Structure 1
Amino acid sequence: MAGNFTMPHELDTTEVDMNGLCVLHLLRTRLGFMFSMSELAVELFKENPGAFIKDIRSGRYKRFHVTDEDVMLRLAQLQIPPESITVPGATLLPSDTVEALLRDRRKAELVEVVRLALLKVVSADAAKLLAQGLFEECLPVAIDAINKGKVLYYPEYKLQLVPVYLLGAQANLGLGRAVQAEDMLGIAAWLLIEDKSDEDKIAIRAEITRIFGVLYYLEKKYDMALKAFGEHIYYTSVQFGVRDLRNSIGMYNLFTVFQAQGEKYKSKRCSNVVVEWWLDALKEVVLGIPYKRLTPWETPQYPGREPEMENFKTQMERMYFKEVTDMLQEISVFRSSSEGEGASVAEVCLVLGLAFTHSRMYVLAREHLEHAADLCGSEDQETLVLINSCLKLIPKPAIHVPMPLQKSR
């Protein structure tokens, strides 16, 4: 079966190590992920591409012939040999064709390698779409990852299936499909319980409890949401430490639930923790002002030991920064409505200014820093010093001087 199509302008590739025998390249196309027939023939089967393609053309294997210049250039960059000197174009093979060829040519042990590579790429795509809030696009990709994962891991390695089910659950939550989300969460929790391996499960438990908290919040089961978010903070603290920035997400989630319950004092306390933690972290990363880590652990009063905390820069790299700025902006709105425009709002604007500076979103950074300066007044010298220090880091906008028009002769 053959088909012709126009390839996209950009052609992303992923290297697939075939158990040390060779490295193949998985190519991303509009019709799915493809392998180069020529590379497969030469690198894995040690055959001439011209001879190898005769078997492909027998009609038993699906293939696609492309002649797009961008595709040919990308294959040349990867140093993949051409199939023919006289016939233009290249033959691309989908993963199911590659799997069939591996079985037919007595290399069935490599089928799992191909499947694992595809699962990693598809899971990464689903996670990226989820982070961007593209839930409708994410859901079919997540379901594809679940199906690929079940073929690979069930029933021997149940724990490996939990992350893909959590992707599907979050996509369903984003679409407001609470029943489907709860079903996927239930399966993920069951797989976790059924797994008898010695692998560390704290991070997965933290993620499951967080998503259950979101589900209960959307269903207005606020007491259950508080319990789930509290467990999320506990598991995150056990693994990374109480002051780890990932726990600021948990504190923000508590803030939203307390708001929904009308518990203004409790929601304010939780939001204060979020702002304080991010101010300390961004002062260190953006302005170079070190955070003085004073913890009571390993003292007679607190004999326990907290996990060694990663530096703030590393913690930030593990987080989706838009989620952080959205969270801080929501707290700014809360403070403005409950306390009015004043020092507390200025503090959040300062943190947002530092965050946008760190993200190199300088227009937004300057806007929030200048608003913070207007609100805090001249008496708050400490905040003004921080604002001015950050403003000095923001590049001045380029001044465009229009060229004078030349008189026509």
Structure 2
Amino acid sequence: LETLERWTPTKDPGGGARTRTPNPLPYKRILDDIGELAIPGAVQALAFCKDVYGEGAIQMVPPYLLLAEANLDLRRLQQAEEFLSLANWTVLKNPDCSSAIRSQLHRNFGKLYSAQERFADALRELSKDVYHSALEVGPEHIDTSVGYFHMGNAFYGQQRIENALAMFDKVVEIWYKFLSSVRAEPERVEDFSEAQLNEGLDMLNRILEMRAKLLGQGHIATGEANYTVGLLLLFMGKHQDALKQVQAAHDVYENHLGPEHSSTSDVAEVLRQLQSSSVMFAEGDGGKPGEDGLPGTAGSAGPFGSILSSFPDNLPRAQTQSPIPLPPKSRQVATAESDDAMRMSPVDGVRR
């Protein structure tokens, strides 16, 4: 039964409140944009929970939320709202409900309201999501970063560009800190699922796209997004894709700050290590190709293979020019006028 639920209890890396990792199959299918296939598993989980725990039990909330997420993914907003209402009623009847569940409930309401273009309501719900997620796992946790990301989408929907960029900057910062900490504490890898990392990559790619759109490809903030995406790709074992992103980041920093700047040197060092590893893979290191067609390493184990062995030794964060300057006013107007042709859905980020 637990493998079908939305969250699985795990040990908290910081030794505090435990976190719940979104790694079951139905949720993975939602992240893979095949929400239709997630629905049967969630329905079965709901039936099991009802049989085991009884009607109105708090254990029924995760399947309700899975069904809501799947219907949001499929743009079936009325069905999603119905499942969220059922989940909300169950939470109201169980006042001792965990912050983790409350966080996900408010997050999904926020995504629903964003899809309905009720952005003020969405921001209210998403602020509650961030609050409860911070209580459960901390304000700097990658789970909490998802709430910041959706808040950024809602601000963007209101054309509050500065606020949106600030939220996106927070997401990038959290993921960079996470990648740095994993190098220092390799055992933390086990606390995070492949689905979480894929969700993070999806968010960071969309932030990169949004920064490039609003600020320009050559802006320092866009380069930092390139850099962070590259580090996450490297962490996931996708070395060739990582090389492209870090190379793009290096070009931005070198052009914007100059080759002698400390931030440029940091990115150049990671680029050098990636280029060296690419040569090693091209020459053959005795490993087997990974599932994504990239070379692996002999003796690798686990879903992420030899991630840690190829992760750079030093990961100083490239300095951000903060606060992020807004684009020229004329550019903001042009951005608003082009939204029909290039718009990010607040629910799934797919350009419609």
1:270 equivalent to 2:172? Answer no
1:127 equivalent to 2:27? Answer yes
In structure 2, give the amino acid aligned to 1:205. Answer: R
User: Which residue among 129, 135, 139 is the counterpart of 2:39?
Assistant: 139
Whether the aligned pair in 1 keeps the contact of 2:247 and 2:271 (CA below 8 Å) is: no
Query: CA offset at residue 341 of structure 1?
Result: 2.0
In structure 1, give the amino acid aligned to 2:244. Answer: E
In structure 2, give the amino acid aligned to 1:374. Answer: D
Whether the aligned pair in 2 keeps the contact of 1:236 and 1:246 (CA below 8 Å) is: yes
Q: Separation in 1 of the partners of 2:205 and 2:178?
A: 17
Secondary structure of 2:282's counterpart equals coil
Whether the aligned pair in 2 keeps the contact of 1:206 and 1:231 (CA below 8 Å) is: yes
Q: Separation in 2 of the partners of 1:247 and 1:158?
A: 26
User: Which residue among 261, 284, 296 is the counterpart of 1:380?
Assistant: 261
Query: CA offset at residue 317 of structure 1?
Result: 4.5
User: Which residue among 319, 326, 343 is the counterpart of 2:202?
Assistant: 326
Q: Separation in 2 of the partners of 1:128 and 1:275?
A: 22
Deviations 1:319-369 (A, max 9, x none): 611111111111111211222122221111111111011000111100101
| 1:339 match | 215
Query: CA offset at residue 315 of structure 1?
Result: 6.0
CA RMSD of aligned residues (A): 2.4
Q: Separation in 1 of the partners of 2:105 and 2:260?
A: 46
Deviations 1:204-233 (A, max 9, x none): 101100011111011111001000110000
| 1:182 match | 81
Higher relative contact order (CA 8 A, sep 6+): 2
TM-score computed with the length of structure 2 as normaliser: 0.67
Change in 2 beyond 3 A, CA 1:167/1:349: same
Change in 2 beyond 3 A, CA 1:323/1:383: farther
In structure 1, give the amino acid aligned to 2:262. Answer: Q
Q: Separation in 1 of the partners of 2:195 and 2:132?
A: 17
Change in 2 beyond 3 A, CA 1:358/1:387: farther
Q: Separation in 1 of the partners of 2:195 and 2:37?
A: 22
1:358 equivalent to 2:258? Answer no
Q: Separation in 2 of the partners of 1:362 and 1:318?
A: 17
Q: Separation in 1 of the partners of 2:129 and 2:270?
A: 36
1:232 equivalent to 2:122? Answer no
Q: Separation in 2 of the partners of 1:358 and 1:136?
A: 30
Change in 2 beyond 3 A, CA 1:345/1:145: same
Secondary structure of 2:237's counterpart equals coil
Whether the aligned pair in 2 keeps the contact of 1:131 and 1:320 (CA below 8 Å) is: no
| 2:117 match | 220
Whose helix proportion is higher, 1 or 2? 2
Change in 2 beyond 3 A, CA 1:175/1:327: same
| 2:181 match | 284
1:398 equivalent to 2:282? Answer yes
Q: Separation in 2 of the partners of 1:223 and 1:207?
A: 18
Query: CA offset at residue 153 of structure 1?
Result: 1.8
> For residues 7-406 of structure 1, what are the structure 2 equivalents within 5 Å?
119-123=1-5, 124-155=24-55, 158-195=57-94, 198=96, 200-286=97-183, 288=184, 313=189, 316-317=192-193, 320-342=196-218, 343-377=220-254, 378-389=259-270, 391-392=272-273, 394-396=277-279, 397-399=281-283
Whether the aligned pair in 2 keeps the contact of 1:369 and 1:391 (CA below 8 Å) is: no
TM-score computed with the length of structure 1 as normaliser: 0.58
In structure 2, give the amino acid aligned to 1:120. Answer: E
Query: CA offset at residue 151 of structure 1?
Result: 2.0
* 5+ long unaligned stretches in structure 1: 1-118, 291-310, 401-409
Larger radius of gyration: 1
Deviations 1:249-304 (A, max 9, x none): 11111111111110011111111111122222223334x5x9xxxxxxxxxxxxxx
Query: CA offset at residue 179 of structure 1?
Result: 0.8
In the comparison of the two structures, how many residue pairs are matched? 258
Whether the aligned pair in 2 keeps the contact of 1:350 and 1:387 (CA below 8 Å) is: no
Change in 2 beyond 3 A, CA 1:318/1:203: farther
| 1:58 match | none
Whether the aligned pair in 2 keeps the contact of 1:203 and 1:235 (CA below 8 Å) is: yes
Q: Separation in 2 of the partners of 1:365 and 1:334?
A: 19
Secondary structure of 1:398's counterpart equals helix
Q: Separation in 2 of the partners of 1:399 and 1:176?
A: 47
Secondary structure of 1:176's counterpart equals coil
In structure 2, give the amino acid aligned to 1:341. Answer: Q
Whether the aligned pair in 2 keeps the contact of 1:122 and 1:141 (CA below 8 Å) is: yes
Change in 2 beyond 3 A, CA 1:228/1:314: farther
Q: Separation in 1 of the partners of 2:25 and 2:190?
A: 23
Q: Quick one: percent identity of the two aligned structures?
A: 26
